[in-house]
Amino acid sequence: MNGLPPDGPTSPSRRNFLAAVGATVASINTAACIRKPRELILPFSKRPEDLVPGEPAYFATAYNVGETVFGLVVKSSDGRPTKVEGNPRHPLSEGASNAWAQATVLGLYAPERSRHPVWNGETLDGEAAKAQIAALAKELEASAGKGLALLIDHTPSPTLHRLIEELATTYPEAAVYAHDGAGDDNALEGARMLGLSNVVVRPHGAARVIAAFDADPLGTEGDVVGFTRAFTKNRDPSDPSG
């Protein structure tokens, strides 16, 4: 029939096989001749206490999405974080984490991370950036910060809140705006309408069925790790009804 390959052996001929082997060997030899970039291995100027090269260390930290904070434990190998897990001592997550927390370690090694200061689209070195910031600080001091606006995301960090307060004291005419796609603005506004100052925490541990309307409390909204952990405690995998 027309269009069908002819019958015959499907293995390559001796000539084609030798040509493929020769090309592979040539590519390997060429790759072996490429010079690797010269890099420096710098020792510690002050060796950290109890540091054993090659042995991982673990430290507790926290990660926030909007106003929600997750307790984490990070594995660090020779000073480089390599794995993120939930903190088993955290009262809400109890050692669990979510995809966002797991992905934070990838952001440390992303090639798109900013590596240099940028001013009006131009890359500056460290000294030029310091000089530019000093000149800008003098202008803002003379105008009490008029024309300065900061756009930040929501964060529960008390250190950042203190720095913002100090900036507002130094530059009273400056404006600070907070916006976060994962923030709890609507929930906070609803709480204020009820005379509350904080967001209501839903006791998912006491629920067997959750009806969610235009919401995803176990996936993307709020303390999803703690909510999921509490909700699944009442679930029985062997029970057909859950």
Q: In the numeric block, which tokens belong to residue 101?
A: 């927390």
Q: In the numeric block, which tokens belong to residue 15?
A: 């000539």
CB atoms within 10 A of CB 68: 20
Give residue-wise pLDDT tens across range 19-71: 666 666 556 555 556 666 777 777 777 777 777 778 888 989 888 877 778 88
Q: DSSP H helical segments within the chain, as ranges?
A: 14-32, 99-108, 126-142, 158-170, 185-193, 224-232
Place of tokens 């008390």: 158
Tell me what pLDDT residue 1 has.
Answer: 47
Give residue-wise pLDDT tens across range 80-105: 888 999 889 888 778 888 888 888 88
The Cα-based distances of 32 to 17, 19, 25, 36, 93 in angstroms read 23, 20, 11, 10, 49
Closest C-alpha among 108, 111, 109, 130 to residue 119: 130
Phi, psi of 67 (to 5 degrees): -95, 5
Give residue-wise pLDDT tens across range 154-193: 777 888 889 999 998 999 999 988 887 766 677 777 778 8
3-state secondary structure of 229: helix
Instruction: Please indicate whether residue 2 or residue 145 has the higher confidence score (pLDDT).
Output: 145
pTM tops 0.85, yes or no: no
Phi, psi of 90 (to 5 degrees): -75, 130
